[in-house]
Chains A and B, each alone.
Chain A
């Protein structure tokens, strides 16, 4: 553990790294832009009167501060990051270089179309590539993230039903109990009532419960497939038939699309609308929490409702924006979406090509099943059948022995790994959800499995040692109750 470095800054309490305000001294800094004073052109009544107490630092201090902070992070570029349902695959560096090209990075969203043909073409081409990968007809790249895409898609459902005179009646959305929390909150944001359906003993949607929940007041169902248990729905065709049979629409949450690349296309499986997470499946870096991008893919029947503007190609091969779509739900973000993310995804897909995409899906499934084969003899598996791209363990036995899923996760930090997702899905007690992705070699998978097995053995002999983890991380476990009870959300409150 590396404590406060050489800065000599006074920290209000023991700390890994001083705060910017603790490093600052009045009068420091400057040199990035020439000084100027605007008082001649801003009337006095509009001028800032309250102090602007931003920290004053020289560049070297800022560089060391943020470099030290970066070094406190675990990342894909520093090690194995098997965070379930997040697809933390390696991100090729050429993607970042592409996004930084002046023709993309230094392009204004309102420049005339004559000056943005390359960017518009990239959007159009990426839509075509994603249509081929998903089997969907038309795509909007405007939504900025998966949850944004969910909201957009449900607005499309609403508009579709309203167009058939059923808008007032169809007020419910069906969501499985294994779904991401965003599904329920997106549906609620859209004014829908959420009906949750349970899983059956094999980890599928419980068909009987689903049929009982359906009716002519159902707008649709949100289904993640493979689901958050890493399992492909065994009764998918029956689920589709039941929902479509009552006039509902099927929404595909594409968070787990990595499992299906080249293996199956949601469009062929019967989904009406699907979203993708480019930051997951298509290898755009997750950015410590974002940005992502959440393309919405639609069948021909739902495509008229996609957000505007759309990019279209003229017969002469010119690209332009089209907002003349009267049935569109409208705009969901300014500009053209998270374009820098789109450039990275385009670059990634072009590099892989048809065979590379298929190999990605196959290798992701094989890696997860290999880990499953190594862990199954020691750990209980939530639903024991071949998985797709991720597996879910249930650590209830370890919990009884004295170390919870959280404790085991923290012990993995001491083994040099980022922990998997824990306590999700909510339907599995002491859940641990592991997604290795296709970009890790067998040696890494073995090292990770060995570490988990060592920890399992330690749970049996010395659970207190597991509960004490992590010992090698920059910090020990943090007091989250203190943070929530007495929120210190800015500098002023932190030092008080």
Chain B
């Protein structure tokens, strides 16, 4: 090959590089065989305690759920995994139809008219939704409720420094509705971070009365049993799709969901797949409405997003196809029923009380007689992950989640451990 190129060494091709910088030391260790590297990563992973190793009540936005065997078997097939963005639709119909079906499934689940093909995650979806609202309304004030995941609010605050949005955080849903006048949008989360079910109709009414957009970050599985955002008048529904057949993976990758009313479709960030026909009249799919996107519009694009989370959108599509309406409602219902049994049991421990202001779904706030972080650590010694210590005004609050994987034996174990720790 060198001879064909007309050089004796590769170095002759690299003379353009400043000599002082050429061929540096990388300070990297020597390479390993596959056997050796496999052993090394197993050793590293063994220093972690997987969520499945014992009763697990930690949620707070990421949930340990049952992943049907067929989900990774199909969605992680290498024809999906090792392709890229479908720039050549004739040889990418697998990706394109799967993503289009993801869009359709999400739109149906959320009762929204249009969904995009994915964003990075739930946190960046909050920020993209706020920027969409600012574009649509020409206003810069974004009001967000403390119901929204604290890390998602932190990401929104970071993003706001770019387009110079004025982010106002309010303590609860009542304050959110009152803050509508002059706002680009009102943003809430359902279920709320503390587990409460939120009234999305009230959100939409207050927002629309003030000419603002109603934005709801929802758990897609909760939408199987709760009135979905589209049926409540929400303009932009967002969320994190991790629960839809995607491993926890220490928080990522997952899939950021965004769905809107039909008249907002040209304001959507990211890729959108549309149906069309080929030259022979056969149905096919392409990336469409691309004049919104960075590779065409550059500095006038609706977003800078390019690479997204396609293969996890495909995971979500497979998961929803396998479970269907009955299976999805069962996942949500089983989680909720178990959580209510757990709440009743834990609230019966002396000094403990459930402090949610209204009805909750599958996650609830348990007030302990002592600091939640210390109690969580003490319970950990029993091999039980008790939940997420909240960092608000009350350091004694613990956020406790149940899923369809939580058993009555898990609840008994947590109740017994808490009783002993608190005794």
Contact = CB atoms under 8 A, between A and B. Distances in A.
A13 B109 contact: no
A355 B30 contact: yes
A232 B17 contact: yes
Interface stretch (A206-214, A296-304, A332-340, A454-462): A332-340
Interface stretch (B168-176, B178-186, B297-305, B409-417): B297-305
Interface residues of A, number: 195
Q: Which of B26, B325, B334 has the most CB of A within 10 A?
A: B26
A35 B380 CA distance: 32
A51 to B, nearest CB: 8
Contacts of A186: 304
Contacts of B239: none
Contacts of B97: 16-17, 19, 69, 72
A66 B74 contact: yes
A207 to B, nearest CB: 15
A335 B122 CA distance: 11
Nearest to B52: A106
Contacts of B312: 287, 290-291
Interface in B1-27: 1-2, 4-7, 10, 13-14, 16-18, 20-27
Interface in A253-303: 262-265, 268-269, 277, 279, 285-292
B323 interface: yes
Contact of A30 (B17, B105, B123, B326): B326
A13 B282 CA distance: 7
Nearest to B155: A331
Contact of B62 (A109, A151, A263, A410): A109
Contacts of A91: 81-82
A40 B337 contact: yes
A410 B90 contact: yes
A290 B81 CA distance: 9
B26 A57 contact: no
B327 A33 contact: yes
Nearest to B341: A41
A448 to B, nearest CB: 14
A243 to B, nearest CB: 16
A312 interface: no
A53 B108 contact: yes
Contact of B34 (A19, A105, A330, A351): A351
A173 B192 CA distance: 40
B27 A144 contact: no
B101 A114 contact: no
A417 to B, nearest CB: 10
Interface string B333-375: 1101101100000000000000000010100000000000000
A369 interface: yes
A101 B45 contact: yes
Nearest to B60: A110
Contact of A102 (B16, B50, B104, B251): B50
Nearest to A262: B26
Nearest to B308: A290
A311 B226 CA distance: 38
A188 B328 CA distance: 41
A418 B66 contact: no
Given A329-B161, A339-B252, A71 B79 contact: yes
Interface string A322-360: 000000011111111111110100110111111111100
Given A104-B250, A191-B164, A331-B151, A121 B289 contact: no
A32 B337 contact: no
Contacts of B105: 20, 54
A359 B149 CA distance: 45
A351 B251 contact: no
A95 B191 CA distance: 36
B281 interface: yes
B244 to A, nearest CB: 12
B83 to A, nearest CB: 4
B107 A490 contact: yes
Contact of A333 (B87, B223, B252): B252
B151 to A, nearest CB: 4
Interface string A412-445: 0100001101001000000000000000001000
B236 interface: no
Nearest to A23: B321
B152 to A, nearest CB: 6
Contacts of B1: 366-367, 370, 442
Given A55-B321, A155-B158, A334-B155, A291 B88 contact: no
Contacts of B248: 105-109
Interface in B247-263: 247-253
Interface string B294-335: 111111110111111111101001101111111111111110
Contact of B89 (A101, A269, A475, A494): A475
Contacts of B50: 102-103, 106-107
A390 interface: no
Nearest to A83: B84
A487 B334 CA distance: 38
Interface string A181-209: 11011111111001000000000000000
Interface in A32-67: 32-38, 40-43, 46-50, 52-57, 59, 62-63, 65-67
Contacts of B100: 489-490
A478 B89 contact: yes
B322 A132 contact: no
A145 B48 contact: no
A423 to B, nearest CB: 10
Interface string A80-101: 0101001010011010111111
Contact of A482 (B113, B276, B331, B339): B276
B162 interface: yes
A86 to B, nearest CB: 6
Nearest to A328: B158
B155 A489 contact: no
A50 B80 CA distance: 33
A150 B164 CA distance: 17
B321 A92 contact: no
Nearest to A474: B93
23 contacts: A20-B104, A36-B329, A46-B197, A65-B321, A67-B77, A73-B92, A75-B81, A116-B48, A116-B49, A144-B252, A181-B294, A188-B301, A194-B299, A290-B310, A331-B123, A335-B251, A338-B252, A339-B253, A343-B41, A421-B87, A470-B91, A484-B290, A489-B115
Closest 3 CB pairs of A and B: A335-B251, A353-B31, A103-B45
Given A46-B199, A288-B310, A489-B275, 10 more contacts: A53-B108, A74-B92, A104-B48, A108-B250, A115-B385, A148-B120, A185-B301, A263-B17, A291-B309, A362-B10
